[in-house]
Structures are given as structure tokens and as C-alpha cells.
Amino acid sequence: MRFVVVTGMSGGGKRTAMKMLEDMGFYCVDNLPVLLIEKFVELICDPNGEIQKVALGLDVRADQNFAVAKESLDKLQNNGYSCEIIFMDASDETLIKRYKETRRLHPLQTSKNIRIEDGIRMEREILAPIKAEADYIFDTSHLLVRNLKEEMDRIFVGDKSYNSLMVNIVSFGFKNGIPSDADLVFDVRFLPNPFYIDELKYLTGNDKPVQDYVMQSGDAEVFLDKLEDMLEFLIPGYVNEGKYQLVIAIGCTGGHHRSVTLANKLYERMKDKGDYGLNLSHRDIK
């Protein structure tokens, strides 16, 4: 019997995660009144029953005390019900942007005359205890839906381990500024620039001719070897410190050729290598 609780910040992607679990064969129930949690689990979580995979969605509501939900989950686990917790998160800036795009109110705004920013801050405080106990934390600030599905499949279909660290590899152009959320920044402007080759100028690092041109320099392979070795050393330390998002930014002048090529190559090297999530994006390619 597999019992999963999906919770997290409003706007963080909880409903998307629930839909994915439903597609994986989970019996999903969302927004169950917190006073019914224990009774629901006792009725449905029968090891010999027909339903063997259950997902319960929980979120903060103005008319409910979330502390009661946390107490119910603690009581269930003390009574022998095994529970996995997924926590969906995103940066404050991302959440505010999503609310403004959808023109929806934050759940805590429905009964309080407060701003979205205040609702998000209050929600973080309320959810802090359950986030601290979460088995899986997904930061969806820069996570595409397909990448989230890959990680969910890995955990709940492939039964592979996941330590809640999402590694984001992003290419960028220095002329457009360094990504504000970058943890590690690497400059690859020392490599030959395809921009000055007429037949390559209007291609990108996603095109094989550009990749071949950039990688023909032995320095590119040496750079990747050293970078990969450093990341293999650093990532376990980040995991031990509880970090759940690592942004590796690789930059060249315009963010079209060299940085895109090296980001793609690093992604290929790191793919399926560890029990962390991996995401690739090209900020300035367009």
C-alpha cells in the first residue's frame, strides 16, 4: 500500500502533481476537510484492499487550521500508516507572477484584507513544519511540466531514490546579465566563437555543426572533465546541507553558441548519473 500526501505553496504546482499521480494509477482525493483525514485513511488504506495507491492533496485554506492536518498525519504515522510527503514549492517572485497572470486570490486573502505577498509569507510560516518533514521537495520556479513528470515517474513508477535536489543547468549570454538565481557561474568565452563563421552565425548550440565547431577545441573537453569532476564532489555536500535547488549557469557572449553547446554536453554527462533531478534550459537562445 502506497500512501502519498501532496502539499505545498499555493501556486507551486500541487494540482499538476496530483494529475500526474492520477495518471500513474493513484486514487486521488484533493482538498479533503482536515477533520476527515484520519477516518479517510483508516477506511481506504487497507493492505489487502483493492486500492493500493492513494494520493491526498492538502493545502492551506482560510477556513481550516492546517496544524490539525499535520497532527492527523503524525498520528497516522504513529499508528503504523506509512506516508510519503511531496512538497511543491516556488520562489515568491514566481508565485506572485502566477497569481497575477491567473488573476486569482491567494487562499489566505479570502478572509483577510491582505496583499498577495503577505499571504505567501503567512503560508510559508504555516507550512514550514510539514516542509521540514517532506520526502520530496520540488521547486517549480524554473521546472518545466515535462521535467516534473520525469522526476515523478522516476520516483513513483521506477521506484528510484530521489533526494529532492533539482540541478538546473542554464545557458546564458553575459551581455544580457548573469541569471539572478545562479549558484555557480562558468564563463566559456575562452572557446572559439562560431558567431564569426558565416555558415554558423545564425545557428545555435543545439545544431550539430555548431557543437562540432565548439568541441573541436581540446579545451572544451578538458573544461567539461574538470567541471564534471567538481560537481561530483560538490553535489553530495549540497544534499547533506538540505539544499533542494542548484542552478549551474554557463555563459558566453550572446548565449547562442558556446554556452548552449557546453550546457547540452554537461547535461548529457550528468543525465541518469545521480539520485537528483536534472533540468536543462537556454535562457537567451531566442
Q: What is the pLDDT of residues 15-27, one digit of tens each?
A: 999 999 999 999 9
Q: For residue 197, what pLDDT is reported?
A: 93
Instruction: Please say if the pLDDT value at position 271 is more than 90.
Output: no
Q: For residue 213, what pLDDT is reported?
A: 96
Q: What is the pLDDT of residues 134-173, one digit of tens each?
A: 989 998 988 888 888 888 888 888 766 666 688 999 999 9
| pTM: predicted TM-score of the whole model, two decimal places | 0.68
If we measure between CA atoms, which residue out of 46, 35, 33 comes closest to residue 3? 46
Decide which of 3.40.50.2300, 3.40.50.300, 1.10.357.10, 3.30.450.90 is the CATH code for 2-156.
Answer: 3.40.50.300
Q: What is the pLDDT of residues 73-117, one digit of tens each?
A: 888 888 888 889 999 999 999 999 998 887 777 887 765 678 888
If we measure between CA atoms, which residue out of 112, 137, 102 comes closest to residue 61? 112
Segments of the chain assigned to CATH 3.40.50.300: 2-156
Strand order in the sheet with 53-57: 27-30, 53-57, 2-8, 84-89, 136-139
**Phi, psi torsion values for 37, nearest 5 degrees:** -60, -50
C-alpha cell at position 263: 550546457
Instruction: Please say if the pLDDT value at position 177 is more than 90.
Output: yes
Q: For residue 286, what pLDDT is reported?
A: 80
Is the CB of residue 205 less than 8 Å from the CB of residue 214?
A: yes
Q: For residue 171, what pLDDT is reported?
A: 97
Q: What is the pLDDT of residues 180-233, one digit of tens each?
A: 889 999 999 999 999 999 999 999 999 999 999 999 988 999 999 999 999 999
Q: How many secondary structure helices (H) and strands (E) does the chain include?
A: 9, 9
Q: For residue 210, what pLDDT is reported?
A: 96
What number of CA atoms fall less than 13 Å from residue 275's CA on the CB side?
A: 11
Q: Rounded to whole angstroms, how far apart are CA atoms 268 and 22?
A: 30
Higher pLDDT, 250 or 37: 250
Output the CA–CA distances (angstroms, integers) from residue 24 to 67, 85, 159, in the order listed: 29, 17, 12
Output the CA–CA distances (angstroms, integers) from residue 134 to 81, 88, 165, 205, in the order listed: 16, 10, 13, 38
Higher pLDDT, 211 or 35: 211
What angle separates helix 66-78 from helix 37-44, to the nearest 10 degrees?
40
